[in-house]
Chain A
Amino acid sequence: MSAGSSPKKYVKVWFLLLVLFAISVIGPAFEIRWLTLITAFGIAGVKAFVVAKEFMHLNVEKKIVSYMLGSMFLACVLFYFGVAGDVMNSKGQHWEKKVYKVEKTKASH
């Protein structure tokens, strides 16, 4: 816990989180794709950052903890891009998804 921590400061952070939360609920109501992406998902990232920094005190924690958590997150990103190429495509150079083939056949009938 940093020296400047106080219940008043925590309440202020909580209030900020509530404002961000309200934006993340109201923004997608306009049903504009880019606005939804920014308000719902972008702000989720900001909220997570605020919680990690102010409530988990990552800002005053030893840097090794941030590196450790960051490397775990990086593993997930690698996982995503490692398999996305296969999962997101219906066919490749020497393969085609059987499910996709069946759906295509059904659609043509």
Chain B
Amino acid sequence: MGIVQPIATRRSATGILTGKLAVWWLIGSEIVIFGGLLASYIMMRLLHGDWANEAEHTNVVIGATNTFVLLTSSLFVVLSHYWAEKGDRDKAFKYMWLTILGGALFLCFKSYEWTHEIAQGYTISKSLFWSFYYVAAGIHGLHIIGGVVIMAFISFDLKKGKNMHRAELIGLYWHFVDIVWIFLFPLLYIAK
């Protein structure tokens, strides 16, 4: 019996492969989730000028370091996609794991940052600013965890030369997570 390719790589009723279309739809729904959250935050921030005093306590150095880490991991995942398309399994696998490392580093910095803030009394219930801060960064962090886990699974397929198209699919998701952080960083850390 011959190997049957998954429908995600065979069917393209819209001219876009089904698997890729599904990821675009997922990203579309994520735009509404994060967009709604950020729009609410901007609205409240404009209404409460005193939130600037609360934002003074966020750690810009860690926020900036995490921005650098995510931008770099975005480079790694697009390189993984590039080498997957070229059929170079080893390079695709290597860059996928460098991306995973970026995600793990991001989470380590975030854990350190949150531990420090909570120890200082800046908890989720301290004020509306901190509620937004923990919810927005927390949901984003959950997306990082999800992405890291999925990439770990995909990486072993890449190593075997199976389902190479998935490097692109997880890459799209990872770039979106990066874009969300690009907006979260100035909103939560820079605007004092």
Contacts and interface: CB of A to CB of B under 8 A. Distances in A.
Contacts of B94: none
A41 B46 CA distance: 14
A100 to B, nearest CB: 10
Contact of B190 (A13, A17, A24): A24
20 contacts: A5-B82, A10-B82, A17-B74, A24-B186, A25-B60, A36-B190, A36-B191, A40-B186, A40-B191, A44-B182, A48-B183, A51-B74, A51-B178, A51-B179, A56-B175, A62-B16, A72-B32, A72-B35, A76-B32, A76-B35
B139 interface: no
A47 B182 CA distance: 7
B108 interface: no
B150 interface: no
Contacts of B176: 56
Interface of B: 14-16, 24-25, 27-29, 31-32, 35-36, 38-39, 42-44, 46-47, 60, 64, 67-68, 71-72, 74-75, 78-79, 81-82, 85, 168, 171-172, 175-176, 178-179, 182-183, 185-186, 190-192
A88 to B, nearest CB: 6
A64 B14 contact: yes
**9 pairs of A and B residues whose beta carbons are closest in the complex:** A76-B35, A40-B186, A72-B31, A14-B75, A80-B39, A72-B28, A40-B190, A48-B179, A55-B78
Given A21-B68, A62-B15, A73-B31, A10 B179 contact: no
A36 B190 CA distance: 8
Contacts of B185: 24, 44
A51 B32 contact: no
Interface of A: 1, 5-7, 10-11, 13-14, 17-18, 21, 24-25, 28, 36, 40-41, 44, 47-48, 51-52, 55-56, 61-62, 64-65, 68-69, 71-73, 75-77, 79-80, 83-84, 87-88
A42 to B, nearest CB: 10
Contacts of A7: 79, 82
